[in-house]
Amino acid sequence: MKSEIRVLEHTSKVLKNNPLGDPFRRSVLVYLPESYKKNNGKRFPVVYLISGFTGYGALNMNLSPFSENIQQRIDRLIASGKINEMIVVMPDCFTKYGGSQYVNSTATGKYEDYIVKEIVPFIDNNFRTLPQSASRCIAGKSSGGYGAMWLAMRNPGVFGLMATHSGDSAFEYCYMPDFANFIIDIQKYGSGHKAVQNFIKSELNIKQPKGNEFHNILNIIGMSSCYSPNPKRREYNFDLPFDIYTAEIIPEIWNKWLKHDPVRMVTKYKVNLKKLKLIYIDCGIKDEFRLYSGARIFAGKLNKIGIKSIHKEFNAGHFNIQYRYDESFPVISKYFAYK
């Protein structure tokens, strides 16, 4: 008997008629450990592993000659005795703009509701889970790490454990430095707000190659659509937090972004954070988006108000750090409730 990856199709009610016309019927990948097939009534804790920007659940199964996919990694960790058997769920929250940040947005769709109100009950109804917050962890890296912080802080009755790897936080360090690059990069597509509109029309497709400026432009568009949506805007359905010609910050819009910043949410969600059984935080000290700063600030603020967390750093950057699951999954396994 071996572990199994099941691919289920889920039809979402909350994503139907979403603003971008993205699919509302999506695949959900589910890792089932070897003993699940025995069908002896045993129930299992669940890790909801959510993807980074431009990612989605199925990418966790990519094969590489020099690294493991998620099934191979979890199999090894279980076989070595480092973790107990668990279910791992990998949903798809991709959008036309690259990602959802797992928030409810009038520009992209209700992706927090999709995870919390649809996917979690869907999994509990179809698998032998332990349907309680103490046996559910939300985990991810990069924007998935951001989503883990966001969803756990706001929904401790659903997710009792949280693990964030290099999650977006301290927005003035991880996003703001790229604003000045954006105003130059976008000029390739025209002038002013029309240029952003042209980029959306011409580049959000499978046409290759993409220019060197593609990711920075897409990242700013993706984050703006999540943090400062504006369905009334004529050219597109979000607001940029800066002047498109000078990059001067527009305070009223930038403040909308900051309300989504995990390091600024700690006080607001203090009561919820105290309910979590586990808060695991890590980040590489060479992270290209300077997310080590946000991780330190987040952990420090938790400590100041008496909330325990596990904060680790490692000597690497932002990309290709799936191996850090070797650190977080054993901790998650230790803190899970098994009955």
| pLDDT, tens digit (0-9, with 9 covering 90-100), for 272-304 | 999 999 999 999 999 999 999 999 999 999 999
Structural domain boundaries, residue 229: 173-258
Residue 178 CB-density burial (10 A; 0-12 exposed, 13-18 middle, 19+ buried)? middle
159 and 180 together in one domain: no
319 and 216 together in one domain: no
Residue 310, CB-side half-sphere exposure with 13 Å CA sphere: 18
Total of domains in the chain: 2
164 and 230 together in one domain: no
Predicted local distance difference test score (pLDDT) of residue 223: 98
pLDDT by position in tens, the chain (length 339)? 599 999 999 999 999 999 999 999 999 999 999 999 987 889 999 999 999 999 999 999 998 888 999 999 999 999 999 999 999 999 999 999 999 999 999 999 999 999 999 999 999 999 999 999 999 999 999 999 999 999 999 999 999 999 999 999 999 999 999 999 999 999 999 999 999 999 999 999 999 999 999 999 999 999 999 999 999 999 999 999 999 999 999 999 999 999 999 999 999 999 999 999 999 999 999 999 999 999 999 999 999 999 999 999 999 999 999 999 999 999 999 999 999
79 and 186 together in one domain: no
User: What CATH number is given to the structural domain containing 320?
Assistant: 3.40.50.1820
25 and 151 together in one domain: yes
Name the residue with tokens 């042209």: 198
Pairing of strands 310-314, 278-284: parallel
48 and 159 together in one domain: yes
**DSSP helix/strand/coil, 18:** coil
54 and 163 together in one domain: yes
What phi and psi, each to the nearest 5 degrees, are found at residue 141? Answer: -125, 155
214 and 161 together in one domain: no
Q: Which of 131, 150, 145 is nearest to 51 (CA)?
A: 145
**DSSP helix/strand/coil, 153:** helix
Last residue of a domain, one of 243, 258, 273: 258
Last residue of a domain, one of 225, 258, 291: 258
Please report, in angstroms and rounded to a whole number, the separation of the first and last CA atoms in the chain. 24
Q: Which of 98, 139, 124, 102 is nearest to 15 (CA)?
A: 102
Element (H, E) at 300: helix 291-304
Predicted local distance difference test score (pLDDT) of residue 64: 85
What is the percent of the chain with per-residue pLDDT over 90, rounded to a whole number?
Answer: 96
53 and 198 together in one domain: no
90 and 120 together in one domain: yes
Give CA–CA dist 250/242, Å, rounded: 5
294 and 322 together in one domain: yes
95 and 229 together in one domain: no
Last residue of a domain, one of 258, 282, 314: 258
Q: Which of 256, 13, 237 is nearest to 121 (CA)?
A: 13
Whole-model pTM? Answer: 0.97
